[in-house]
Chains A and B, each alone.
Chain A
Amino acid sequence: GAVVSQHPSWVICKSGTSVKIECRSLDFQATTMFWYRQFPKQSLMLMATSNEGSKATYEQGVEKDKFLINHASLTLSTLTVTSAHPEDSSFYICSANSIWANVLTFGAGSRLTVL
């Protein structure tokens, strides 16, 4: 079945630094990837939709300059949290779908802790 790999699974960084999270579709080409964020005891919230070769579409309230998304190929999308602050600490999850897939496949998520 479709597999989505997310890396790193957890990261701790200092306030003010930038962190990059990768999302790869391992055995299929992902025309679209989605980035979600989940704060403790809350639901997964869609941050942005990433289409290969074009600019990402951000949800209302998500700062595009802070959360940089790049979808350079059909198998890789990256999320860079720039100048991270403690309030950015969260669980970030990507998901991907293909032309042929009927449902989304989620990555395992990345736990970001900003000190």
Chain B
Amino acid sequence: DQQVKQNSPSLSVQEGRISILNCDYTNSMFDYFLWYKKYPAEGPTFLISISSIKDKNEDGRFTVFLNKSAKHLSLHIVPSQPGDSAVYFCAASARAGGTSYGKLTFGQGTILTVHP
């Protein structure tokens, strides 16, 4: 049972435009969500996170939106740059239940390619 899903395996965007990466989840116990970026042969690098008490969190060019009723979150990158090309994973955890937030459930990842 895939509790976190990224239904788009890949996304191609022109430099300067907006990249929107989507993620859906099924477990209503999830209350903390993260986005990670991963280059080949490297470990995931933390990008941005959002708690379920918020619906938006912004950090520079990266904004994460959370729609709890739809169990959907998205990552917006504006403007997109060629260096943003990587695999993006969304992840979720259930922190409020006392479970360590390190116990993350990951989506399958979306390959983002930003063309110059």
Q: Which A residues have a C-beta under 8 Å from some C-beta of B?
A: 4, 6, 9, 32, 34, 36, 41-46, 49, 93, 95, 97, 103-109, 111
Give the interface SS of chain A, mostly helix, strand, loop or mixed: strand
On chain B, the residues within 8 Å of A41 by CB distance are 9, 108
**A32–B43 contact, CB under 8 A?**
no
**A108–B41 contact, CB under 8 A?**
yes
**A106–B43 contact, CB under 8 A?**
yes
Q: Which B residues have a C-beta under 8 Å from some C-beta of A?
A: 2, 4, 9, 34, 36, 41-46, 49, 89, 91, 100-109
- 7 new A-B pairs (CB below 8 Å) besides A4-B43, A106-B46? A41-B108, A46-B105, A93-B43, A97-B100, A104-B101, A109-B42, A111-B41
A-B contact pairs, 13 of them (CB 8 A): A43-B89, A43-B106, A44-B89, A44-B106, A46-B104, A49-B103, A97-B100, A104-B101, A104-B102, A105-B46, A106-B44, A108-B42, A109-B43
Please report the C-alpha to C-alpha distance between residue A43 and residue B44 in the assembled complex, in whole angstroms: 12
Known: A42-B108, A43-B109. A107 touches B100 (CB 8 A): no
Please report the C-alpha to C-alpha distance between residue A4 and residue B45 in the assembled complex, in whole angstroms: 11
Find A46's partner among B36, B42, B103, B109 (CB 8 Å cutoff).
B103
Find B43's partner among A97, A103, A108 (CB 8 Å cutoff).
A108
